[in-house]
Amino acid sequence: MQKNIIWDLDNTLYFETEEYKNKLNEVTALAAIKDFNIPLDFATATQKVKESYMTYRDGLEFFAREYKIPHQKLYTAYHNYKSELVDMIEPYPNLLEKLQSLNCQQYVFSTSSKDICEKILKHIGLYNFFKDRFYSVEDFNTYKKNESSNVYQKLCQTIGISPHECIFVDDSYSNLDFAKQIGMTTIRIYYRNNSAKGMTFIDSAYKGIDECIKGLKETYGC
């Protein structure tokens, strides 16, 4: 069976440093305060973003629930600020050549907005490689990958392949859970310790992008 690799983008095809993660938390808080007049000071709002991610695996969810703001509006405002941070991303050296060495069709599926996906892919030198083969949750009228398996089913229908022909690679185990529910093979990329060890919906886990690519070749025949 021919396998197709579906890559997550953020913290998968590039590494999110602690500095970058902190900035993402800060712009999430800034969007909530400036665009929606959330009555919190900046430090408190930033802490709520962190707590929201720990609780819901989504930094926006607290504000959506607590202040009844539509998630779509929060999502759009957040990405307007996130756009300013793309230049902080440090591309992996020679990643294009490494991806080209894989004998599988490859796609990107991201929680980031379509515009941000394009901007990041251009910044890390992968836009031409994934042109017409990268998708955002926005394409399917949703704003999360960790809420339902439906978005993964819609992705497969759009690209015209069965879930059973897909290898989904992501750093977030909450996303992998839903991908597995429709029959995808699931791979987790981690960077320090594999905190998802023992989770039965994860087929393989590799430390970093290079080990993942090696595993895709040796274990999955890509």
Please check whether residues 83 and 96 belong to one and the same domain.
no
Q: How confident is the model at residue 1 (pLDDT cuts 50, 70, 90)?
A: low
Q: Quickly state the pLDDT bin for 36 (edges 50, 70, 90).
A: very high
> Mean of the per-residue pLDDT values for the chain?
96
Domain termination residue (choose one: 87, 102, 134): 87
Q: Are residues 53 and 73 in the same domain?
A: yes
To the nearest 10°, report the CA torsion of 17, 22, 26, 32.
90
Residue predicted with more confidence, 193 or 152: 152
Residue-wise pLDDT for 131-149, tens only, equals: 999 999 999 999 999 999 9
Asked if 72 and 173 sit in the same domain, the reply is no
Same domain, 135 and 120: yes
CATH of the domain at 127: 3.40.50.1000
CA 39/CA 42 separation, integer angstroms: 10
State the pTM of this model: 0.95
- Contact (Cβ atoms closer than 8 angstroms) between residue 77 and residue 12: no
Residues 124 and 152 in one domain: yes
204/124 same-domain check: yes
- In the chain, DSSP assigns E strands to 4-7, 105-110, 134-136, 166-170, 185-190, 204-207
Q: How does residue 196 score in pLDDT terms, banded at 50, 70 and 90?
A: confident
Let me know the angle formed at the C-alpha of 170 by 165 and 175, rounded to the nearest 5 degrees.
90
- Domain shared by 66 and 124, yes or no: no
Total count of domains within the chain: 2
Beta bridge partners of 185: 167
Q: Are residues 102 and 126 both part of a single domain?
A: yes
Report the Cα 153 to chain-centroid distance in Å: 17
Domain stops at, among 87, 103, 118: 87
Cβ(7)–Cβ(107) under 8 Å?
yes
Q: Are residues 59 and 28 in the same domain?
A: yes
Domain end position, chosen among 87, 115, 131: 87
Enclosing domain of residue 67: 18-87
